[in-house]
Structure formats: structure tokens, C-alpha cells
A and B are shown apart, each in its own frame.
Chain A
Amino acid sequence: MAFDPVKSMLGAGGKHGLADNEKRDPIGLAVAALNKFAQSDLIDRLGIRKSSEQTVYRVTSAGFKAAGAAGRTFARVGGQGGGKRVPSVQGNGLFDLTPSEDEQMLVDVVTEFANEVVRPAAAEANETCAAPEDLLKASLEIGLPILGVADDLGGIATERSAVAGVLVHEALSHGDLGLAVASLASGAVATALSLYGTDEQQSTYLPAFTGDEVPAAALVLAEPTALFDPLAPATIATKTGSGFVLNGIKSAVVRGAEAELFLVGAELDGKPQLFLVESKTDGVSIVADPSMGVRAAGLARLVLKDVEVADLALFGDADTYREVVQNSRLAWCALAVGTGQAVLDYVTPYVKQREAFGEPIAHRQSVAFMVANIAIELQGMRLVTYKAAGRVAQGKDASREIALARRLCAERGMGIGNDGVQLLGGHGFVKEHPVERWYRDLRAIGLMEGAVLV
């Protein structure tokens, strides 16, 4: 469409959350001009307004744009053929809600980490849109990145670990969802490499993840479009003589500024496929994309402009892609369960302590029933998520169960966040309490694709 200056001045739509059909009238034009003036540096130089710009403002509003992180060189090694794989879980066929001893031990360790380290760091990480270095280091020590990696490849999994993964995601997000995503993102890529990588891909990339200096890495599936369908990405891969060329814009990239390796969804010959893209490849750039919540994860967009990758980059096939989409959604469900539990655990003592009309508000059914419904819906979310995880671990098709878990957690999870704030009233709306953060975080469930994986 040709540029039309008059239309551009009168037509207000297309930005600031305005629909395309919004038009400015003369008063509107005057107000817009006044607003421009109010934003100019001039009034600040004249001392008319208190300067309130902070680091936070720069990070969150101005954003940044940079080339991909100048990461390490992953030396290409390994032979042809499929990689190493873990076997599926062989259960005894009984209905069972009890985790195995190994899983319980893992949950206990992660729960302690979530309580002692993650929760106390959450508020500040939300403001700075970054996870603290020492927290990320500690997350390596408890083995988060190698949880889903086969023991033959330097990880700890002896069988398909989707249930353990779900339990860990849940326990960690009870501390904080944004920090959980930040500390689980590298593990998502490592898990994918272990589950689906070829021998060459595993040999080239996995040693970095099982060593001491674990790279930031991101599973990147989302794109910034409405009704985005991950099975039909707009990002395009084209075959060349020696590899592929990638073009497109991806979103919800965890720790985009630091990530050294991306596992990116793109369409190749009409089919969705995954590609391994190293951050220092020419044509890779990162744009900060701070969002409503999940801010500690340092969300960014990944811009791919004529990015050339070798044949080694093509990861799995279209079936692999579909499975990765599903199991990533499952991980988000587990995050919703953990955050929902955090809400329930917070509002329960609050409504018993808070008094109105001479008694605790918990003594009123309208309040108590909201708490009961949080508990009921939360347990439903948990069970549906566990069922899907069990199927994945056993190597059964879990398309239906994951779709239902995702829909349930999106709908009921957001409901829990909403009711959580409501139960605290005005106190729920202010940052003195963490409930408003959980509210923002829970809106991510159901719309996020990628980033985490079980």
C-alpha cells in the first residue's frame, strides 16, 4: 500500500492497540499534538516534569535490538544415523497417583529450590526482565537442563521422563513461572536433542548442555500473529545446495539476548519442521519483547533474515515437530498447575486473616466458595495434565489428552489468577503481593508455544 500522509495523520489505527478503523477528528489531532509535545525532551530540559525514567523503562518500553549473542562455536562431530534414545515407561497398568521414589526425590529438591531461591527472587526478576545469574547457576547444579537427557548422553533419564518433567515444571513454577521458564529453557532444547536428534546433532550440541558451562538456548515455535497455528508457521525454510535459508519473525524466545542456540520452527516444502540455528549466524537478530507476564524469562523476538544454516540444522521430521508442539504445551500446563497452587496457597491464609464486618472474610460463602472452586479446578487441571504426561511417558498417543489439558489450563488457570486477585481486593492489584504477577503469568497459558518441553 502506498504511503498517504493525510490518511496517516487522520487514521489512528494500527498502533497503540487501536483497531484499523479508528479516525482522528480535529480535537483528536490537537490532543495527539499535545501528547507529542508532552513526550518531548524539551519540557524535561525546562524542568517541568520530574524525570522518572529508569533502567526498567529502557528495558521494558524502549526495547533493544541486537545481533544474536556472540556464542561459542559448536564443533561439528558425530556420525550418520539416528541418535541414542531412552525407552518408554513400562507401567504395571494400574491407576496410580503416587510418583515414583526417584520422582518424589526430584520434586523435593526442586520444591526446596523454588521456595528458598526462586520465590524470593521473583519480584525483582519481574521488574528487570531477567533471571539472576546465581539463580541460573544454581538451577544447573540441581540438574535442570539434563533432566530429560538420556543417561547414555550425559543426562539422568533412563526412560522417557515426561512425568518427572511435568512434576519439576509444576514444582518450579510454584516458586515463579517466569523464573521457571528462564531456568528450564536450555533444558527444553537439550531434551529435544536427546529425544529426537541424530547422532551428529547429539554429538555436536549435547556435550555443551551436559558440561559445566551450559549455554542459554531456546525452543522457538511462536510467531507474533493472531490465531497462530504452530503447524503452519509463516517462517519459511528454503533448501539450498548445502543446507537451508531461513526467513521470518519468531516470538516468545526465552532469554533471547543470551541464547546461543535456537531450535526454530519453520515451514519447509509445505511441512512444519525444526531447525537448529546458532545465534552468531549472520542474519540472526534479537528484539526485546517484554510482555504482560513471564517477564523474568527475558522474552524476545527472533528475526531471521536470509539466515543460512548447514544440512545438519534440519531437526527430525514433521512428526517430530508435532510431538514437540504437543509436549511443549504439556509443559506449559504443568507450569499453570504450579502457579495455580501458588495462588491457592497464598489466598487461603489471606482470607482467614483479613477481616470485614467483624469477622474473617473466609467466613462468607461468597469468598469461601471462590477458594473452594480454585481448589477444585486446580486439582482437575493437575489430573488432566498428569494423565497426558503418563501417556507421553508410556509412548502412547497423547494428542487428545494434551489438547484437553491445554484448553482446561488456559480457561481454568486464568480463572484462578483472576479470582486470586479478586480475593485480595485492592491489595491484589498492587505489587506488594505476588498475586497480580501470577494473574499476568497465567494469561500466558493457552497462547504460548515452545520455550519449555517435557
Chain B
Amino acid sequence: MRARSEASTRMSINLETPKKIRPLIDQAHQVAMNMLRPISRKYDAAEHEYPKELDMLAAMIDGLADSGASEGAGAAGVRRDDKPEEKAGNKNGANLASVLSVGEMCWGDVGLLLSMPRQGLGNSAIASVATDEQLARFGPTWAAMAITEPSFGSDSAAISTTAVKDGDEYVLNGEKIFVTSGERADSVVVWATLDKSLGRAAIKSFVVTKGTPGMKVERLEHKLGIRASDTAVIMFTDCRVPAANLLGSPEIDTKMGFAGAMATFDNTRPLVAAMAVGCARASLDLTRDILRDAGIEIDYDRPAFSQSAAAATFLQLEADWEAAYLLTLQSAWMADNRQPNSMEASMAKAKAGRVGSDVTLRCVELAGTLGYSETDLLEKWGRDSKILDIFEGTQQIQQLIVARRILGLSSAELK
């Protein structure tokens, strides 16, 4: 314990924002502040209009990525490679960088982050389950994710869209809804079943590029929030895709079951948790200012209940926010260090999802009609946050996953 020479580099519990990722976060913050915030209200009002400013931004981010100045600026950065590590020890890598930068961008605007070219959730799916050859081929694409169908939401195993092998092609038939960036993206990762009788194991994902005959965007949804992001209904009618576009292995491994496809979620849930954390922080930052203008300073040393009700409420919100933030970092850090993080990802998403709603809605209330009015953005964040407790697995699904894991129960035992 006395060896001072070791002390300078020894490991120790530290939950501070990693120094090496700080520049990336600062950069994301500047982009969020100067690019996203100024157009935030514009595209909330003009739903379905393409945010043309984002093309410029995407080009800039690509440039930064190529120059190596940025690591994992968005969803596309998430990938677990199984190559042996050169050196062992604690790693702060792409997963941590991604959640921190995505959080920062969502502090700017969740809807616009979701509309960022080449940063779609489909990209995350590709990064998670694609072979190296596929990754090289699809890497530069902007991929949306199509899972949900009119007849099911959370129960992904109920997929009825079919994929039938015909020569070296698959023929897709079915209807997909709630496809984020479904109209704007270059391609869509479509979940379909090879054989419905074989259950979850037969569900595979396919990359379908835009313009493929038989794929048609039916309409765009009108939504409560994240209105800058388009949400499409897509029909697949005898839509033929190359067999090589099936992500991962075409084998139906009943032992492996759903695990392969579900692994995507271990990577995307921390990202959605980060979105909720970022959006909620926007509300907290602004509300702290608004309260200060109203003569209320938050005092961290005096007991909460000796301060005004607004200050005490704010402290509670910020405390829950801090928990959500750190659970999110934990799940990403575990992925960086190749620890199984399925439960922790769900914990992060559950906590961040509900905290996102609690914080943004309570901040509207604290700010009164000032918060409720469209003249500022608190009311918008109160609407945007709701989807983050729903997509990529609802609050209830996350609780189910955590409960099964903690209790050691199967999906047959704990339905």
C-alpha cells in the first residue's frame, strides 16, 4: 500500500467523465448548442420536413471520424469485436464514447439526433451482428430499423413478416410500422421470420436498400414528440433481397434462439438511455436558470426540506437523473470491457426512461406557463422524452428482463 510510484497510475473506483472522451463530449456539446438548438423548434413545428442542415453536419462528423478526431460519435460506433485485446485492464472505448456523445447531442435535440444521416439504429444493428464482410459493405450506409408490426410491439417473437429463400435471394412480405428514419435512410434493417413454426430462432434481419422493388413507404406518422424524426410505415410485397444481405448466420439455431438478434438491444438500449439522460439534462439546465431568475438557488449542503419546495423537488429530480446517467455509463463501460451487460442495459433504460419523463414533465410544471409555452423548449422536451420510455423496449419490458435475471426465471415462468 505504501508504494507511491504505483499510486499515479493505479486503478481505483472513478465515475468521473473519462478525460480522454472529454474532447468528444465538448465537441458534441458545441454541435448540439450551435447546430441543433437553433433549428429545434423549426422542425418540431414543420413535421416531416427534411432537416437539410443535417447533411452538412453529417459530412462534418464523417470528416472528424476519418481524421480520427472522434471516436464513436453516434450509434454507428457500437461494435463488439472478439479479437483478443492487446493489453488487459480497464478500457474506456467506443461504447462509453457513444453514450456520452449521443447524450450530449440529445441535450440538443432528440428528434434531430435520430435524423442524423448514418447514425440510425439500423447502423447499430449492423455493427452488432454483421460479419466483417457485411460491415465493410454496409458500413457507409444509413440504416433504419424495422421490427414492429401492426399486430405486435414489444413481443418481437410474434413477427409475421416472412422471408422465403428463392435461389440466392430472399423474398420479403409483410408490413412494418414505427420505422424511425424509414423514409430518409439509405436502407432498412428488416426483421422477418424464415419459418414461423420454429419460433424465435427463425427470426433474422435483412438489409434492404432503398429503391428495392416491392418496398414502399406507405405513410409517415404524426407524433407527440421527436417530430423532427420521420416515422414510417413500410410495406414489403414480394421484395427480393440478395441472400448475402441476411445479417449474421442464416442457420436456424434453436438452441441459440433469439439471442443473436436480441444482442442488438444490449448495444442500443444504453444509447436510448443516453438519449433520455441528455434530454432530461436539457430540462434541468434550463429549469435551474429559470428558478434562479425566480430567486431560488439550489443549495447542496442545506437539507432539501429547509429550502423551498421547488428547490427540494429539483434536488430529487437531479438525484434521480444522476442515477440514470451513471447506470447508462455503467452499461456502456461493461460493453467496452466485454462484460455481459444485458441486465445492466435494461436497468439503465428502465431508470433513464422513467427519469426522462419525471424530469421533463416536472420541469414544465416548475416553470409554470413559461414552461408550458412554445416560446421556450421545456414543453417540447416534455413531449420528446416520452418515446424514450417506449422504443427499444418499454419500461415494462426492461423490468421484465431485469426481474427474470435477478430472480433466475425463464420467460415461461415469468411471463
Contact = CB atoms under 8 A, between A and B. Distances in A.
A60 to B, nearest CB: 28
User: For the complex, would chain B's binding face be called helix, strand, loop or mixed by DSSP majority?
Assistant: helix
Contacts of A400: 300
A379 B327 contact: yes
User: For the complex, would chain A's binding face be called helix, strand, loop or mixed by DSSP majority?
Assistant: helix
A163 B399 contact: no
B351 A158 contact: no
11 contacts: A93-B16, A95-B15, A98-B13, A99-B12, A151-B1, A348-B407, A360-B413, A368-B403, A368-B414, A369-B399, A383-B326
Contacts of B87: none
B326 A96 contact: no
B13 A99 contact: yes
B347 interface: yes
A92 B414 contact: no
Given A227-B305, A401-B322, A383 B330 contact: yes
Interface in A139-188: 151, 156, 158-159, 163
B1 A156 contact: yes
A331 to B, nearest CB: 16
B369 interface: no
A67 interface: no
B306 interface: yes
B12 A404 contact: no
Contact of B14 (A96, A103, A379, A407): A96
A387 B302 contact: no
A73 interface: no
A422 to B, nearest CB: 16
B52 interface: no
Contacts of B408: 352
A238 interface: no
B323 interface: yes
Contacts of A412: 323
A351 B18 contact: no
Given A365-B414, A372-B399, A375-B402, A96 B303 contact: no
Given A365-B400, A411-B319, A376 B351 contact: yes
A394 B8 CA distance: 12
B375 interface: no
B406 interface: yes
A344 B326 CA distance: 20
B326 A380 contact: yes
Given A156-B1, A376-B347, A95 B327 contact: no
B318 A93 contact: no
B14 A380 contact: no
Interface string A312-331: 00000000001001100000
Interface of A: 87, 89-100, 102-103, 151, 156, 158-159, 163, 227-229, 231, 322, 325-326, 344, 348, 351-352, 360, 362-363, 365, 368-369, 371-373, 375-377, 379-381, 383-384, 386-387, 389-391, 393-394, 399-405, 407-408, 411-412
Interface string B1-28: 1101001111111111111100000000
A360 B412 CA distance: 13
Interface string B335-354: 00000000010010011000
Contacts of B1: 102, 151, 156, 158
Contact of A399 (B19, B300, B322, B396): B300
B329 A227 contact: no
A91 B7 CA distance: 8
A408 B326 CA distance: 13
B92 interface: yes
B96 A89 contact: no
A150 to B, nearest CB: 12
Nearest to A390: B14
Given A368-B403, A377-B323, A100 B10 contact: yes
A216 B111 CA distance: 59
A95 B10 contact: no
B399 A373 contact: yes
Interface core residue of B304, B319, B326, B330 (most chain A CB under 10 Å): B319
A99 B11 CA distance: 7
A97 B15 contact: yes
A404 B2 contact: no
B34 interface: no
B169 interface: no
Interface in B269-311: 300-306
A371 B405 CA distance: 11
A352 B319 contact: no
A371 B409 CA distance: 12
A249 to B, nearest CB: 19
Given A383-B330, A402-B300, A405-B319, A371 B406 contact: yes
Contacts of A103: 12-13
B315 A376 contact: no
A228 B96 contact: no
A322 B319 contact: no
Nearest 10 Cβ contacts at the A-B interface = A380-B323, A403-B300, A387-B15, A383-B326, A93-B19, A368-B403, A372-B403, A372-B402, A408-B319, A407-B319
Contacts of B15: 95, 97, 383, 386-387, 390
B7 A89 contact: yes
Contacts of B13: 96-100, 103, 163, 386, 389-390
Contacts of A151: 1-2
Nearest to B19: A93
A301 B170 CA distance: 78
Contacts of A377: 323, 351
Contacts of A403: 300-301, 315, 319
A363 B403 contact: no
B197 interface: no
A96 B11 contact: yes
A323 B210 CA distance: 61
B303 to A, nearest CB: 6
B384 to A, nearest CB: 23
Contacts of A387: 15-16, 322, 326
B316 interface: yes
A394 B16 CA distance: 11
